Structure 1
Amino acid sequence: MTRAAAALCLTALLAACSPRAPEGVDRAVLDEAISVAIGDPGTCVLIGKGGKVVYQYGSHMVCGRELPACEKPGLRTVDDLLKSAPTSGPARTASCPSNPDGSRGVAWAAGAIQDTDFVYAAVMEGERTPPGIVIAEKLGAAFARAGLGPKQ
């Protein structure tokens, strides 16, 4: 098997294993809306329903990182946050430095996607990371533009 064929097979296998998108939502449109709102190589967004991830924006490497939890000592992953995402009310957000000298930051946001039975969790880490509350606001608008929740 040639390298190109092997790479194509691996890509197809990984795509088959990755969560697609909530039913009725075009994954490409959702990817683009999130990319425009908060897209960054250090960003991960998960959407879940009934304890199951139905969509992932960001690489498995980024989404699997353990980063400072901010509101309590210790580390967590975005999947940990998704499991405890609020199902109603305002989004839960947090932000803090992600390294000892404070030159990088991490921001977390999790909550219900308005007018749906989906929840989301997001993390962004980098040198110019906006606060978690900004991420939550931008994601709310991105979800609506992609057809999730109320129309804008």
Structure 2
Amino acid sequence: MWTPVFPAAARRAGLAAALAASLGACSPGAPEGVDKQVLDNAISQRIGDPNTCVLIGKAGSGEVVYRYNTHVACGRQLPTCEGGSAVSADDMLEAVAKGGPEIAVSCPTVADRSRSVGWAAGRVPGRDLVYAAVMEGDKALPGRVMADRIERAFVEAGVQPAR
């Protein structure tokens, strides 16, 4: 019986393509009626950073419909700045989706205060959606500034109406 032998480079390329396709299929797009690229660009211009994560999910369930940045950036455990244990952006989205309070807070993440974390989370006005955003690092924005900038990005991208 003949078994085809594929060169190692071809096998690796095929595996890489299959992995990319499977990851793309799992990644959320954007809220209904919103162009993902426009939303990505609006967020990038206002709070974009390698250590930034923005999630939009359905109110009630917290099902993610949009993710800005990677699962790694969004899954980092960071202080809540309100006591308690560290949480991820996914945890924060789930909490606000289930009726938790809106937040816009920040605090240091290291003892010498050279790095900080900013959190912003709440309802998306005019939609049955919620969001959670986190930024950590030496250039992290305060939570209140993040909330204001995210709102402007959401308005520009058509996620929410202008107030």
Match of 2:28 among 19, 30, 44: 19
Conserved? CA contact 2:57–2:97, under 8 Å: no
Kindly report which structure 2 residues correspond to 1:54-73, keeping only aligned pairs within 5 A, or say none: 54-73=65-84
Structure of larger gyration radius = 2
Q: Which residues of structure 1 form unaligned runs of 5+? A: none
Q: Which one of the candidate residues 7, 13, 23 is aligned to 1:4?
A: 13
User: How far did 1:3 drift?
Assistant: 2.9
Match of 2:109 in 1: 98
In structure 2, stretches of 5+ residues that fail to align are: 1-9
Asked if structure 1 preserves the Cα contact closer than 8 Å seen for 2:57 and 2:64, the reply is yes
Tell me the percent identity: 52
Provide, for residues 22-79 of structure 1, a one-character-per-residue CA deviation record: whole Å limited to 9, x for no partner: 1111111111111111000000011001411111101111101000111113201111
Q: Distance in 2 between matches of 1:91 and 1:135?
A: 13
Aligned length: 151
Range moving further from structure 2, 6-15 or 74-83: 6-15
Q: From 58, 76, 88, give the equivalent of 1:77.
A: 88
Instruction: Give the drift of 1:114.
Output: 1.4
Alignment equivalent of 1:141, drawn from 142, 152, 161: 152
Give, as a single letter, the amino acid of the residue that structure 2 aligns with 1:15: G
CA RMSD of superposed structures (Å): 1.9
2:138 paired residue among 107, 113, 127: 127
